[in-house]
Structure formats: C-alpha cells, structure tokens
C-alpha cells in the first residue's frame, strides 16, 4: 500500500474531518505547526489526531497540546521555516501533499514555494487561486500536481467535469450555476411566499450562513468560485473584473452597521424590494436564483430570473447546481447537482483529490 505524506494547513471544520487514514507528518493552524520529529519515518498517531480535533473544536490553539510524544510545536516564523524544511526534505524524494484547508490568503507564498520544491498541492481554500492571475498561473503551472475540486462545489465533481470536457476537445461556451448553499436555500424559500428577513434569520439559525450573513449575501464567495471556473475556461481576469450584485446596499455593510443592527433593523428594510422581484419573476412563470454566469468574455454574479422547469429553477434547499453548455451539451446541458457545502463533504472532496495524486508517489 502506498504511503502519501500530508502536511495539513488549517485544522478548522474541514481539516478536522480529514487525515486519519493518511500519513500526516504535520498540522498547521494560524499560530503554530505541530510536526513529527522524524519526518521520513514517523506520523501523527490517530489518538493525537483525535485530540487535535477536540482541541480545535473548542477554539484552542495547537500550542495548547500537552502530551506531544515524538512531536514538536513550532510558532510563527519558525513554523513557516519548518514547513519549508519539510517540503524540501520530502518534496522531490518521497513526495509531499500540502493540503490547504484554511480560509487564509496568507498561505499563497508557502504554496508557491512548495511547488518549487516538488510538492503536490490540494486546495479547499479558494483565496490562493483567486489572487492575481499571475499567482494562479504559478499555482497551476504543473496541472498534474495540483487539485482544487473542493474550492467550488465541496465534494461535487465540478472541476473534474469541466477539465474532462475541455480535454476531449469539446469547447465550453457557457456555465451557469448556483454555487452557494446558503443563497440557494434563501431563494427557494422565497418562492413559498416567505419574507426575505425571516428566511435569512432562519438560515442563520440552521447554521447555513456565516456568523455575519452579509458574508453570504454580498456574493463574494460565489464570485471567487466563478473566477476559478472562468480561469479554467481561459479567461485572463481578476476578482475585480467580475460584476457582483450584492443583496444588501453599501450603507448596510460591515463598515456602516453592526451584525445585530443588520439582522434586526437592516434586513426588514429589504423585504419589500426583494418581495417585488420575486413577484415579478413569478408573474412570468419564472423563479429568482442567485447565480454565477460565465459566457464568452463575460463573468457576472447576481440575481437572475430563470424558468421554473430548468435544473436551476427546480433547485430546492441548500444543494448546488451547475449547468455546463458546450458543443456536445448544447441543447441538453451537463448538469451537476448535490450537496455543495458542509465540512464532511468538503473534506471528502479533499481526500478524493489526494487519492487522485497517488500515482505520483513512490
């Protein structure tokens, strides 16, 4: 059986669902790195991994671990240097997967150095891939050594399907998708005549939204996913080139009012406008969906009226749906649908990506 060494960057929700069946040689959080003393021969044991999950679930740092066994804690710049040392030692010998399950843009330089040292990269973190186009080019310069399925649809095979269609010589002319489980839930609930502010509050109660719902309602998470897909289709664009329609005005943004004020006072002020848009769409036999649209040189994110009987129109709950149109899928699109969020499904996507790289390891 092959042994794939993995260094896990980020042990939040996704990271805690991953790793017990792999030879994990190190784990980073935002403050420190825990690494085995003998990188070539040792691994973090299952009991220690479970203890790490428990500690991180409680909100504590890796540095609070007491019984380290044959491991060592490194902090701040020392931790970054140690990661590079591990990558240097394993990258071109046995091989090493740097699995970025964080939500930080600060991992970019580390990942670029890892590529130069022969490491494989697996990403659930969208931010490195949605930095400047030159950085994207660097990360994807050896496409066989990078996987990032979980950046767009958690465990759904969106990236794999697109790359497979493109590699067959079938040009993709259009992608339209609902890529936010939160906004998919909100839009489908509005169809039933529910009020916008009530639906958002209910989504927050169910744990669908971020602690600040504006992180979802602003559309930037969908925009990052759209940017990754657009770049796969060859668009040389950056995040600021995407037209993003937020579901709340600038004067209700985080710099203007608090989260509580937005939820209790700001959201109800949006009910009338959103309700009117839902009614207008329904009068035409359509529904509202918050989607990304990539077509030609165009890439935009926002509300769109769609027929009730199309795959996106039939969407209910927090599922993701992506429609891919190409020469072969011109009249009947390739449709990918399923759970597009959740720590367990995202971790499953990361694990599948790591397994997909196994032929690169000795």
Q: Which of 54, 225, 272, 284 is catalytic?
A: 225
**Is residue 276 a known part of a binding site?**
no
User: Residue 322 — pLDDT band, cuts 50, 70, 90?
Assistant: very high
- What's the predicted TM-score (pTM) here? 0.92
Mean pLDDT of the 103-110 span: 93
pLDDT of residue 63: 83
pLDDT bracket for residue 20 (50, 70, 90): very low
Q: Are residues 38 and 138 in the same domain?
A: yes
Contact predicate 340/312, CB 8 Å: no
Reply yes or no on whether the pLDDT at 19 is more than 70: no
Question: Does 284 belong to an annotated binding site?
Answer: no
Q: Are residues 40 and 67 in the same domain?
A: yes
pLDDT of amino acid 21:
52
**Whole-number Cα distances in Å, 357 to 1, 3, 143, 271, 346:** 14, 12, 11, 48, 17
Q: Quick one: 167 and 136 in the same domain?
A: no
Enter the tokens of residue 316. Answer: 């209910």
Whole domain around residue 354: which residue ranges? 5-154+345-361
* 353 and 332 housed in the same domain: no
* 225 given a catalytic annotation: yes
Percent of the chain surpassing pLDDT 70: 97
Residue 17 confidence (pLDDT) above 60 = no
Q: Is 24 annotated as a binding residue?
A: no
200 is an annotated ligand-binding site residue: no
CATH code where residue 137 lies: 3.40.50.720
221 shares a domain with 207: yes
Contact present, 120 and 22 (Cβ < 8 Å)? no
Residue 53 assigned as binding residue: no
Q: What is the CATH number of the domain that holds 162?
A: 3.30.360.10
Looking at every residue in the chain, the average pLDDT score rounds to 92
Q: pLDDT digit string (tens) for 110-124?
A: 999 999 999 999 999
Same domain assignment for residues 308 and 168: yes
CB-based contacts of 271, cutoff 8 Å, min separation 6: 195, 196, 197
Number of domains forming the structure of the chain:
2
The answer on 165 and 125 residing in a single domain is no
Domain identity same for 172 and 26? no
| pLDDT for 240 beyond 90 | yes
- 129, 275: one domain: no
Question: Is 169 within any annotated ligand binding site?
Answer: no
Residue 208's pLDDT band (cuts 50, 70, 90): confident
Q: What is the pLDDT of residue 178?
A: 96
Q: What is the pLDDT of residues 147-176, one digit of tens each?
A: 999 999 888 999 999 999 999 999 999 999
**Least confident among 209-213, 254-258, 267-271:** 209-213
Q: pLDDT tens digits, residue range 210-229?
A: 889 999 999 999 999 999 99
Quick one: 228 and 87 in the same domain?
no
């Amino acid at each position: 059986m092959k042994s794939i060494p993995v260094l896990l960057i980020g042990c939040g929700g996704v990271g805690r669902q991953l790793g017990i069946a792999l030879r994990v040689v190190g784990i980073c959080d935002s403050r420190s790195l825990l690494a085995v003393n003998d990188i070539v021969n040792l691994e973090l044991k299952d009991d220690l991994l479970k203890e790490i999950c428990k500690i991180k679930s409680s909100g504590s740092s890796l540095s609070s671990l007491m019984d380290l066994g044959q491991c060592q804690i490194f902090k701040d710049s020392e931790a970054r240097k140690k990661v590079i040392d591990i990558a240097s030692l394993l990258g071109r010998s046995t091989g090493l997967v740097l699995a970025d399950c964080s939500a930080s843009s600060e991992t970019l330089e580390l990942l670029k150095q890892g590529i130069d040292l022969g490491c494989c990269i697996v990403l659930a973190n969208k931010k490195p891939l949605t930095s400047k186009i030159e950085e994207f080019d660097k990360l994807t310069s050896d496409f066989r050594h990078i996987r990032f399925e979980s950046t767009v649809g958690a465990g759904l095979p969106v990236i794999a399907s697109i790359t497979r269609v493109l590699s067959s010589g079938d040009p993709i002319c259009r992608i339209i998708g609902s890529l936010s489980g939160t906004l998919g839930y909100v839009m489908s609930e509005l169809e039933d005549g529910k009020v916008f502010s009530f639906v958002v509050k209910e989504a927050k109660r169910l744990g669908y939204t971020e602690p600040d719902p504006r992180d979802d309602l602003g559309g930037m998470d969908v925009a990052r996913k759209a940017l990754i897909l657009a770049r796969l289709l060859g668009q040389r664009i950056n995040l600021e080139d995407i037209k993003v329609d937020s579901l709340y005005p600038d004067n209700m943004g985080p710099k203007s009012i608090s989260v509580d004020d937005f939820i209790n006072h700001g959201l109800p002020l949006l009910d009338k406008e959103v309700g009117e848009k839902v009614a207008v769409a329904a009068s035409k036999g359509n529904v509202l969906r918050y989607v990304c649209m990539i077509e030609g040189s165009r890439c935009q994110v926002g509300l769109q009226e769609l027929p009730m009987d199309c795959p996106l129109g039939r969407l209910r709950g927090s599922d993701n749906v992506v429609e891919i149109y190409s020469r072969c899928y011109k009249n009947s699109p390739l449709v990918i649908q399923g759970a597009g969020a959740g720590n367990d499904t995202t971790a499953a996507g990361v694990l599948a990506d790591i397994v997909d790289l196994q032929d690169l390891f000795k």
